[in-house]
Amino acid sequence: MPFLGAHESGAGGLHLAFDRLQRVGGEALQLFTRNQRQWNPHPLTADEISLFQAAWQQGGHLPVASHASYLINLASGKQELIDKSITALAAEIHRCEQLGIPFVVIHPGSHGGDGVEAGLVQFARALDLALDETGAGVMVLLETTAGQGTSLGSRFEELAFILEHSRYPQRLGVCVDTCHIFAAGYDIRTLSAYTQTMEEFDRLMGVGRIKFFHLNDSKQGLASRVDRHEHIGQGAIGLDGFRSLLNDPRFAGHPMTLETPKGDDLQEDRDNLLVLRRLIDKPAVASRIQL
């Protein structure tokens, strides 16, 4: 079975993200190691690291990923922004090294009108510069995107280009966001559609590249190119799409976290996780998935 969880806040102390995850019954965690809207956050303190690792151990050392700052844009044509983004990503990787987090999820950025190919070349070059400055203990996961505006990563071919043109392909993986791939035009609503989408991914990159999932339904329809997350089963994807993914034996041990809307009491996370768990263990579905 996959490890189901959620993105939880580290407000008040990074270690408290584990408490919040425990409150909703999660088995996998995504978090921001620092405020995602700041370029120059304070370094981690020894106390922060110690409290985080103790809470992680107490929680059973479940799967954890960090999400890099939304400010980072390694595909920009503006050198000042590129330089700041490289520094920020290297700092994020370093924080993950200190905490012991194995994955950093990052958006492939926006070309800002320079064109897809130029943006991809720039992203791969800048990504390598950030990786030059860091150790090999943390894997950077390229997140699939919805394709809004001039953002990159909505087509599997674009992610494949980055993997092929990086000097560090062994340090790269992919995080698949269900809302994003659906909004980008990859249908997963039925078993046959899901199978076809995964076959396309496998052909271009190999499903072994997938290390993490974001489980989000979509407020908008197929190929809308609009990134709007909805609660599981209440959006345009529907329950069958998630049933196919959750029962795919290739991803039985993968971490999958919610990024759906929620309030302070986190009840929405509890509800969404319950919906997801009710979809697992459907032998008739799982046996029909084409490997």
Would you write out the chain's pLDDT as a tens digit for each of its 291 residues?
A: 999 999 999 999 999 999 999 999 999 999 999 998 899 999 999 999 999 999 999 999 999 999 999 999 999 999 999 999 999 999 999 999 999 999 999 999 999 999 999 999 999 999 999 999 999 999 999 999 999 999 999 999 999 999 999 999 999 999 999 999 999 999 999 999 999 999 999 999 999 999 999 999 999 999 999 999 999 999 999 999 999 999 999 999 999 999 999 999 999 999 999 999 999 975 544 433 443
**In this structure, are residues 213 and 176 in contact, taking their beta carbons and an 8 Å threshold?**
yes
pLDDT at 281: 74
Domain span at residue 215 reads 3-286
What's the pLDDT score for residue 287? 39
Burial status of residue 40 (CB atoms within 10 A of its CB: 0-12, 13-18, 19 or more): exposed
The pLDDT of residue 274 is 98
How confident is the model at residue 282, as a pLDDT?
53
* 65 falls within a domain: yes
Residues marked active site are found at 37, 67, 70, 107, 143, 177, 180, 214, 227, 229, 259
- Residue 151 gets which letter from DSSP? B
Contact 218, 182 (CB under 8 A): yes
The answer to the question of residue 76 being in a domain is yes
The pair of structure tokens assigned to 39 is 């370029």
Return the closest-CA partner of residue 153 out of 127, 171, 176, 132: 176
Residue 291, domain member (yes or no): no
Number of domains in the chain: 1
| Nearest in space to 31 (alpha carbons), one of 54, 64, 5 | 64
State CA 126 to chain mean position distance. Answer: 20
Rounded CA-CA distance 241/215 in Å is: 11
Q: What is the CATH number of the domain that holds 115?
A: 3.20.20.150
Q: Structure tokens of 76?
A: 């920009």
The closest alpha carbon to 104, from 59, 44, 171, 164, belongs to: 171
pLDDT at 283: 54
Q: What is the DSSP letter of 53?
A: H
